[in-house]
Amino acid sequence: MRLFKGRRLKTFLAFADRILPADDSGPGAATIETARLVDHCIFQMSPEIPRLIRLFLVVFEVFGVFFGLRGFSKLSPARQERQMRWFENNRIPRLRLGFFGLKTFVWYGYYNRTDAWAAIGYSGPRVDREFPDSKMRELEGPLP
């Protein structure tokens, strides 16, 4: 992974856990597999996107100080949700855009994971067609 390392990975996983937490019906989004898929997707886009996501993750983590005197990834779930609601409803368009952009990437990474398909009753893509980006399936393997 190129984008999600160290503190940025922790921030992303904490954010993903609040968006799509694990439950009895299936896995949550806070996994390395989700981060890998999102990382791959981000680097297929304009070079500006990784820079903006990197910046937003840093800002989002640091803003946790205003919600509990520590970074977002170290806050309690209740404080994390409070911070997320603040970003979601913020009057500053760039903060709101960053929030919804990251939320969309979490959904993208989660719903592209084969282990999440069963939880939503999806049997997988048509087998008579090649997957548009074969690299996606390779990204689900174990960490090296």
Phi, psi (degrees; rounded to nearest 5) at 124: 110, 170
The mean pLDDT values, 10 residues at a time, for the chain of 144 residues are 96 98 91 96 94 97 97 98 98 97 97 87 73 67 52
The rounded distance, in Å, linking the Cα atoms of 34 and 107 is 9
* Contact present, 20 and 12 (Cβ < 8 Å): no
The pLDDT, as a whole number, for residue 118 is 83
